[in-house]
Chains A and B, each alone.
Chain A
Amino acid sequence: MKMIRTFLTAAAMTAATLAAVPAAAQDPGPMTYSEALSGKRVLLVPMAMGFDLAQGWAAILEHEVSAFGGIFETRDPNWSVEAGAQAITEAISSEQKPDVLIVMSPDMNSYSKLMKRAQKAGIYVLLIDNPANFKPDAYIGSDWTQLGRLEAEAAIKGCGEDSSKQIGLVQGDQVNATSLFQYAGIMDVMAKNPGFEIVAKPDSNWDATTSRNVTTTMLQQHPDICAIIDFWDGDATGAAAAIRDAGMQDQVFLVTTGGGEKAADCDMIENGTYGAVVMTELAQESYNMVTIIKYLLQSGQEPGTSSPYIYTLLKATTKADLKPDSCWDLKALQAMNAD
Chain B
Amino acid sequence: MDIGPLSNLKNLNQERIVLIVAVLIFVTASVALPGFLSAPNLIAIVRSISVLGILALGMSVVIIGRGIDLSMVAIMAMSVAWYLQLLGNGVPDHTALLLVLAGVLAIGLLNGFLVAYADVPAIFVTLASGSFVFGYVRSQLISSDAVPVPEGHWVALLGGLRFASIPVEVYLFALLSGAMFLFLRYTKWGRYVYYAGDNPIAARNIGIPVRPMLVLRYVLAALISFVAGLLTAASLHSINTRVVNSNLLYDIVLVAVIGGIGLSGGKGGVRNVLVGAALIGIMLNAMTIIDIPLLYQNLIKSTILLFAIIVDGVLNPRDEQTAQQGDI
A322 to chain B, nearest CB (A): 18
Interface residues of B in 25-52 (CB under 8 A from A): 34-35, 38, 40-41, 44, 47-48, 51
Q: Check A50–B144 contact: CB distance below 8 A.
A: yes
Q: Check A213–B288 contact: CB distance below 8 A.
A: yes
Q: Check B285–A217 contact: CB distance below 8 A.
A: yes
Chain A residues closer than 8 Å to B237, beta-carbon distance: 237, 240-241
Chain A residues closer than 8 Å to B293, beta-carbon distance: 174, 203
- Given A79-B245, A209-B243, A241-B237, is A220 in contact with B40 using a C-beta cutoff of 8 Å? yes
Question: Which residue in B38, B40, B145, B291 is a CB contact (below 8 Å) of A202?
Answer: B291
Residue A52 at the B interface, CB < 8 A?
A: yes
- Given A217-B285, A234-B242, is A50 in contact with B145 using a C-beta cutoff of 8 Å? yes
Q: Check B38–A237 contact: CB distance below 8 A.
A: no
Q: Check B167–A245 contact: CB distance below 8 A.
A: yes
Q: Check A213–B145 contact: CB distance below 8 A.
A: no
Residue B264 at the A interface, CB < 8 A?
A: no
CA distance A205 to B293 in the complex (A): 10
Q: Check A217–B146 contact: CB distance below 8 A.
A: no
Q: Check A217–B41 contact: CB distance below 8 A.
A: yes
Q: Check A217–B289 contact: CB distance below 8 A.
A: yes
Q: Check B284–A213 contact: CB distance below 8 A.
A: yes
What size tier do the contact residues of chain A reach? 35 or more
**B interface residues, how many (CB within 8 angstroms):** 38
Chain A residues closer than 8 Å to B295, beta-carbon distance: 174
Q: Check B159–A241 contact: CB distance below 8 A.
A: yes
Chain B residues closer than 8 Å to A153, beta-carbon distance: none
B164 to chain A, nearest CB (A): 14
Interface of A is mostly: helix
B243 to chain A, nearest CB (A): 7
Q: How many A-B residue pairs have CB under 8 A?
A: 93
Residue B85 at the A interface, CB < 8 A?
A: no
Question: Which residue in A80, A200, A213, A238 is a CB contact (below 8 Å) of B291?
Answer: A200
Interface residues of B in 107-160 (CB under 8 A from A): 138, 143-146, 148, 151, 159-160
- Given A174-B294, A217-B44, is A52 in contact with B144 using a C-beta cutoff of 8 Å? yes
Chain A, residues 158-189, CB within 8 Å of chain B (1/0): the string is 00000000000000011000000000000000
Chain A residues closer than 8 Å to B144, beta-carbon distance: 50-52, 55, 330
Residue B236 at the A interface, CB < 8 A?
A: yes
Residue B235 at the A interface, CB < 8 A?
A: yes
Chain A residues closer than 8 Å to B288, beta-carbon distance: 202, 213-214, 217-218
Chain B residues closer than 8 Å to A209, beta-carbon distance: 51, 232, 235-236, 243
B52 to chain A, nearest CB (A): 9
Chain B residues closer than 8 Å to A203, beta-carbon distance: 293-294
Q: Check A241–B289 contact: CB distance below 8 A.
A: no
Question: Which residue in B48, B138, B241 is a CB contact (below 8 Å) of A213?
Answer: B48
Residue of A nearest to B34 (CB): A221
A332 to chain B, nearest CB (A): 13
Q: Check B236–A238 contact: CB distance below 8 A.
A: yes
Chain A, residues 205-223, CB within 8 Å of chain B (1/0): the string is 1111100111011101100
14 additional A-B residue pairs with CB within 8 Å, beyond A51-B145, A264-B146: A78-B245, A79-B242, A174-B293, A205-B294, A207-B246, A208-B240, A209-B235, A213-B44, A216-B48, A218-B288, A220-B41, A237-B237, A241-B237, A245-B160
A interface residue numbers (CB < 8 A to B) = 48, 50-52, 55, 78-80, 173-174, 200-203, 205-209, 212-214, 216-218, 220-221, 234-235, 237-238, 240-241, 244-245, 263-264, 271, 330
Listed from nearest, the 7 A-B pairs whose CB atoms lie closest are A203-B294, A50-B145, A213-B48, A217-B288, A79-B245, A216-B44, A237-B236
B interface residue numbers (CB < 8 A to A) = 34-35, 38, 40-41, 44, 47-48, 51, 138, 143-146, 148, 151, 159-160, 167, 232, 235-238, 240-243, 245-246, 284-285, 288-289, 291, 293-295
